[in-house]
Structures are given as C-alpha cells and as structure tokens.
Structure 1
Amino acid sequence: MLRLAMTTDAETFDRVREPLAARGITVKHVQTKERSLRVSDGERGGGGGDDSDEAEFDGFDVGFVYPSRLMEGAVVDARLSVPWVNGRDAVLASRNKAGVLAALDDAGLPTPRTTLVSNPVDEAAVTEAVAAFSYPVVVKPNSATRGVGVATAGDLDSLLGVVDYLNLVHDYRATGDKSYLIQEFLPDARDYRAMIVDGAYAGAVRRELSADARERGRWKHNVHRGAEATGVDLPERGRELAERAADVLGIDYLGVDLLAAGDRLVVNETNARPTVDAATKYEPGFYDRLAGLIERTAART
C-alpha cells in the first residue's frame, strides 16, 4: 500500500483515512507544529536527528498538501523527501488572494472589484484607493485564512479606522505580508465552495449562517465561524468557472470559493489546503479520483 503523509489531524484526516485505505492508500499523520524538530546534528551530518527522529519520517511515498507553516514545512519536507499533491508553490500561490484574483482577472474570469494596498501608505492613498468603490466595502488581510481579520466599512472614517489597526500590525518588523485588500461588498451573496480534484469538478457545498445569526448582523459564511456546509448541485456555469480557475492557477487539488449575487457569479478566493467534507456532499467517485491523483503524484518519484 502507498503511505500518504498528512500534516493535519483535523476533520480532513479523520474523513479520508478509511475511504483511502479501501483504495490502497494508508494515511498517517505527521506533526509539523507545536513541537520541536531536530534540524541537524553538526559534524555527524547525514540528515540530522537520532534514529527515532528518522523513523518518524521514514517509509512515506507521497505527501497530501504542504504544511501550512512554511518554516516548519521546509524541515519536514526535507525529512520526508516525497512529492506533494499540492506543494509549497501551490500553497503560496493560493494564499496570495490578490495574486489569485489578478491572475484570474487577466484570464477573463469574473472576480469582485478589488484593490491591493501595500503598507505603509498615508490616508490620502487609502482614500484614492477606495474612490472607485461604493460603500460598504470589505477590508481583508491578503494572506489570512478562515475569515480572520475580514471586516466591512460603511464609510471612509470607518475604513480608515480599520486601516489604523492594520497599520499597527504591519508596523511590527517581523510581519511578513504587509498588504490588504479593499473589495466590493456583495450583499446577500450565496457562498459556495467548489472542490476541484485532478483539475475537474468533484462537488460543492453551500456555506450559510443560520437565520438567527444573519438577523444579528453576521455575514461571513465561514464554517470555522459557525456556518453550516450543505452539499449542493452546483449549476454548470459554476462548475466550469471553478475548473477554469484551477486551470489558470495550475493547481490540481483546489477549493474554489464562489459568490453568487443576482446574475453575478464570481471567484472570491481559492484554497490549496481545502477541508474535505462528508463524501455525501460530493460527486460519486470523489475518492476514486482523489486516490488516482495521489497515486499519480507518488509515481513522480
């Protein structure tokens, strides 16, 4: 059996183990964070670490997706020495929201009106950047996930107030990404996550907050913030848009976030480390195709 290294032990790990085992792929967790990782042993060389350290990383044929923490990931990647279904480049490309939207827009795919602001800038630059938008606008960090730091601003003073907080964060020298996005707000938009496996549509979920949460003014339909994901039969238009987005980015395994508002359907974000939901929410043959992608990736060694 193939041995697949997975660097997450959350929902995806629990859901994929049995279906992939039934298809000849053993899934094992490799811890990459909240631990110590031996880097080298000085003069001894030979890959670093004692025998127990080496045994932890031995025997794998392929990795699922590159670790979310890139610094730790570099060490684990060296120890495992396997090809990844989604490697470092794919994870980095998808994490850069502005880069994704720019590439998709350049390819003619529909996206929300978006402007990247690279700090430090003064208030005049922010005012100029938002001039083409109608309020409210969405303000979001360029490389955060799970809806972290995303806010709306209903007027210029509110926007500048949000930016003040971003400036405090970006003033810290160790902050890597000092950019953020100003984006048009699509009211009452329906939020979908389409799953692409081996470049083809493999199913979708609609993410939606409860009616009570929406009545209280909540609007971010992130599952990690309480929204529920329900399997849906995404129309052909949405399927084709998700597949085209994955093709433009060159990422075979990808979550594509779509927003539908009125007659508009746009790609809002992508995720090269997408959570796998219950199999009932995907197309028949989802795990056959996922297993096939893993096997072909392993064959690259």
Structure 2
Amino acid sequence: MRRRIAIVTDDPGWHGARLRQALARRGFEAVFTSLNGGRLQTSASPPVVLPGFEDDLPAGVFVRGIQGGTLEQLILRLDLLHACEALGVPLYNPPRAIELSVDKGIASLLLSRAEVPTPPTWVTAQRDEALAIAARELAAGHWLVSKPLFGSQGEGVERHRDLASLEALQPAGGVYYLQRFVGIDPPEDYRVFVIGDRVIAAMRRCGVEWRTNVARGGRCEAVALEEMPVQLALEVARILGMRYAGVDLLRDGEGRWWVIEVNGIPAWKGLQSVCEVDVTEMLIQDFLSGIVSF
C-alpha cells in the first residue's frame, strides 16, 4: 500500500513536526503540501495533482490549513480536497466538515436548527439591517460581538456596547456577522477537543482581555468537564460531520452552557501544554484507522 501522507499546510511549524514524527513511528512518510500549487486535470493521471504527489495520489490527506485568497482560489483549493475524497483518498477532516466549520454563518444556523445552545446570531450584507438589529439588541440590554464570517484566533472580532462602535464598523468582505455576547467577567471559556466519538481533553482559557484566544495571550489550564459540555461537544462534531474538532464553549453567569465556535482545523499546542494525553498520537491513530487496520 502507499505509505506517503499529504499534510496540507503552508506553515508546518510545531504541529507539522509532531505529525511527521507520529507518522514516521508507524512507517509513513509525511509530505508537507500546499493546495496553492495543486491542480485538477481530466486528460492525464492522476486527475488530482498536489505538490510532492505529481505521479500518484497520497495514501491520505491530513488538513492542517487552507490558505486564503480570492473566491476562485478558495473554490479550487476545496475542489482539490473534494476530488481526492471522490477518488477514495481518506481526508482528515473531510472537506464538507471543513467548509461547515470555516463558515460561521452556516455552522451557527445548523447548530441552532439542531437545538444546540448557541447565542442568537444574525448574518447580513445590508448595513441598515445590521444597525437595526444592533439597535434592538442594545436597547434590550444585550452587548454584541461582530466577527468575520471566515477567520480564526480572534482576528477581526470586536465587542460592541453601544451603537456608535457599530456605526464605525466596516463589514468583513461586505458581510456583517453579529452575535449576542454571553461572556462573563473575568473572561474565560473552554476548548473541548473531540477525536472520533469521544472528548480526549479540555482546557479552560482565561483571557487578558475579553477575548480568550491563546494567540492573544490567553492562559490555558487543564480542566475536567461535567457530562453536559462533553455531550454538547460530541453532538456538535456529529452534526458537522467532523472526525476531530475543537469546540469552544462558554458558561454564562447563570450557569448555562453555550457553543461559541467550532474549529474543523484546530490547533492543539496550547492544549498539549496542559494535558497529559498525547494529542498528536491520538489524532494520527484515528486518522490512520481509515487507512490501515491496527
């Protein structure tokens, strides 16, 4: 069988090194590849060409990142993943799951429709409509959070306590994503890491500001979760079709749990720093279970 695995990333870093080592221990070669250099072709074989895999398809694809770009570039990059999947190459996560998690709008809608507790959310391209929604929410005593429809690590996320701050807001890509703020002070939330059909670890993130992202200075600490948030995280991963996921939860001042965001390409360096299990080993074990039998 083929023993070469494609790790899709433009910046391997710590995660790439850990994945490469874990694969090597099982006799697989990790090849870092960028979707930016891939192509589809209907008159030659293989029909999908990824950098480093010009002559044959990889045994599997582990997606660690998808570079941004124009709409056409993003569609091509996702098409490359969909084509690999259609040709029988195992992908981790599957491309549809990645699409659903990257797009905060459809993820919020699907989770809400499944009665998963998520903060009320509005997505619109109309400025007047966005300001009217904000005025109504603020008048009812609710703060709002605005986010890019696509984004991570807290980039472009803002909190609004009054209409003046929203009136100055420039929509990300021409779209307003508004969500009711349900945070607490001092700020904290929970990253719950799902692999397969179980939660393997969780951490509490305490922020130096209202955003708790590790990339913004958030402090991580290991935590054992009760049954309710564990089941919430598992349900979220199931609804969005994820083999592995980073589910962000928050507990409000009244003790209610909320799903804030879902990441289908989650980092785990911060989590690994505070938990005893080897997250990379568990990821690779689950990933390879779709390729070989242990």
Q: TM-score range by the shorter chain?
A: 0.7 to 0.9
| 1:290 matched residue in structure 2 | 283
For 1:255, the aligned partner's letter is: G
TM-superposed CA distance for 1:253, in Å, is 1.0
Residues 1:125 and 1:52: Cα distance change in structure 2 (over 3 Å):
closer
| 1:116 matched residue in structure 2 | 122
- Whether the 8 Å CA contact 1:201–1:243 is kept in 2: the answer is yes
TM-superposed CA distance for 1:39, in Å, is 6.0
Instruction: Tell whether 2:59 aligns with 1:61.
Output: yes
For 1:73, the aligned partner's letter is: R
| 1:270 matched residue in structure 2 | 262
Paired with 2:13 and 2:75, the residues of 1 have a C-alpha distance of 20
1:72-120 deviation per Cα after TM superposition (whole angstroms, max 9, x unaligned): 52475458952212122111101122322222222222222x2313112
| 2:13 matched residue in structure 1 | 10
- Whether the 8 Å CA contact 2:196–2:244 is kept in 1: the answer is yes
Paired with 2:247 and 2:64, the residues of 1 have a C-alpha distance of 18
Aligned length: 275
1:268-293 deviation per Cα after TM superposition (whole angstroms, max 9, x unaligned): 00000011326464464755542342
- Whether the 8 Å CA contact 1:138–1:182 is kept in 2: the answer is yes
Gaps of 5+ in 1: 171-177
Matching residue within 229, 232, 236 for 1:245:
236
Matching residue within 210, 214, 217 for 1:223:
214
| 2:103 matched residue in structure 1 | 96
Residues 1:153 and 1:39: Cα distance change in structure 2 (over 3 Å):
same
- Whether the 8 Å CA contact 1:191–1:206 is kept in 2: the answer is yes
Residues 1:74 and 1:47: Cα distance change in structure 2 (over 3 Å):
farther
Instruction: Tell whether 2:172 aligns with 1:182.
Output: no
Paired with 1:48 and 1:20, the residues of 2 have a C-alpha distance of 24
TM-superposed CA distance for 1:259, in Å, is 1.1
Where 2:251 maps in the other structure, the secondary structure is: strand
- Whether the 8 Å CA contact 1:66–1:87 is kept in 2: the answer is no
Aligned sequence identity (%): 28
For 1:86, the aligned partner's letter is: N
Paired with 2:201 and 2:51, the residues of 1 have a C-alpha distance of 39
Where 1:131 maps in the other structure, the secondary structure is: helix
| 2:249 matched residue in structure 1 | 258
| 2:70 matched residue in structure 1 | none
Paired with 1:59 and 1:37, the residues of 2 have a C-alpha distance of 12
- Using CA pairs under 8 Å that are at least 6 residues apart, name the structure with larger relative contact order, 1 or 2: 1
Where 2:289 maps in the other structure, the secondary structure is: helix
Give TM-score scaled by structure 1 length: 0.77
